[in-house]
Structure 1
Amino acid sequence: MSVGETVEAEPKRRGGRAARFGLILVAVLLLLFGVPWWTLVMSGNHWPTPVAVIGTIVFALTAVAFPGLMFAGHGRNHHDWPAKIGDTLMGIAWVLFVWSILGQVLTLILWLSGVDSPARYRIATAVVIVIALVLLIWGYAEAMRVPRIRRVDVTLPRLGAGLDGLRLVLITDTHYGPLDRARWSRGVTVAVNALDPDVVAHTGDIADGEVAQRREQAAPLGDIRASLARVYVTGNHEYFSGAQRWVEHMASLGWEALHNRHLVIERGGDRLVIAGVDDRTAAGSGVPGHHADHEAALAGADPELPILLLAHQPAQIPGAVAHGVDLQISGHTHGGQMWPFHYLVRLDQPVLQGLSRHSDRTQLYTSRGTGFWGPPFRVFAPSEITLLTLHKA
Structure 2
Amino acid sequence: MTDISETQPPSSAAQPTRPSRLGRVLRFIPLIAPVLLWSVPCWLLLYAGQHWPTPATLAGTVLFGVGLVTMPLAMMRGHGRRQHDGAAIVGDTLLGVAWVVFTWSVVLGVLLRLALTVAGVGAGQDRARTVTWAVLGVAVALLVFGYVEARRVPRVRRLDVELPRLGAGLDGTRVALITDTHYGPLDRARWSARVCERVNALEADLVCHTGDIADGTAERRRAQAAPLGTVRATRARVYVTGNHEYYSEAQGWVDLMDELGWEPLRNRHLLLERGGDTLVVAGVDDVTAESSGVAGHGARLDGALHGADPDLPVLLLAHQPKFVGRAAAEGIDLQLSGHTHGGQIWPFHYLVRIDQPALAGLSRHGARTLLYTSRGTGFWGPPFRVFAPSEITLLVLRSPRRAG
What is the TM-score when the length of structure 2 is the normalising length?
0.90
Describe the SS at the equivalent of 2:237.
Answer: strand
- The one of 95, 102, 114 aligned to 1:90: 95
What is aligned with 2:131? 124
**What CA deviation, in whole Å up to 9, does each residue of 1:158-187 have, x standing for no partner?**
111111100000000000001111111011
Cα drift, residue 21 of structure 1: 9.0
Describe the SS at the equivalent of 2:376.
Answer: coil
CA gap 1:22/1:350 in 2 versus in 1, 3 angstroms: closer
Q: Distance in 1 between matches of 2:127 and 2:250?
A: 53
Cα drift, residue 112 of structure 1: 4.1
Between 1:343-352 and 1:34-43, the stretch displaced more is 34-43
Q: Does 1:30 align with 2:66?
A: no
CA gap 1:185/1:163 in 2 versus in 1, 3 angstroms: same
Describe the SS at the equivalent of 1:37.
Answer: helix
**What CA deviation, in whole Å up to 9, does each residue of 1:20-63 have, x standing for no partner?**
99975342222111111012221111111111112112211211
Q: Distance in 1 between matches of 2:28 and 2:397?
A: 49
User: How many residues are treated as equivalent by the alignment?
Assistant: 374
Q: Distance in 1 between matches of 2:82 and 2:278?
A: 44
In structure 2, give the amino acid aligned to 1:257: P
Matches within 5 A, 1:249-268: 249-268=256-275
Q: Distance in 2 between matches of 1:375 and 1:22?
A: 19
What is aligned with 2:12? none
Q: Is the 8 A contact 1:39 1:103 kept in 2?
A: no
Cα drift, residue 103 of structure 1: 2.5
What is aligned with 1:72? 77
Q: Distance in 2 between matches of 1:361 and 1:22?
A: 36
CA gap 1:152/1:22 in 2 versus in 1, 3 angstroms: closer
Root-mean-square deviation (CA, aligned residues, Å) is 1.4
Q: Distance in 2 between matches of 1:199 and 1:271?
A: 13
Q: Distance in 1 between matches of 2:266 and 2:159?
A: 27
The gaps in structure 1 that reach 5 residues or longer are: 1-19
- The one of 45, 55, 64 aligned to 2:60: 55
Q: Does 1:108 align with 2:114?
A: yes
Q: Does 1:44 align with 2:49?
A: yes
Structure with the bigger RCO (C-alpha within 8 Å, sep 6+) is 2
What is aligned with 2:379? 372
Q: Is the 8 A contact 1:233 1:311 kept in 2?
A: yes
In structure 2, give the amino acid aligned to 1:62: G
Q: Distance in 1 between matches of 2:135 and 2:71?
A: 22
Matches within 5 A, 1:198-277: 198-277=205-284
In structure 1, give the amino acid aligned to 2:120: G
Matches within 5 A, 1:1-16: none
Q: Distance in 2 between matches of 1:23 and 1:381?
A: 26
Q: Does 1:352 align with 2:366?
A: no
Describe the SS at the equivalent of 1:347.
Answer: helix
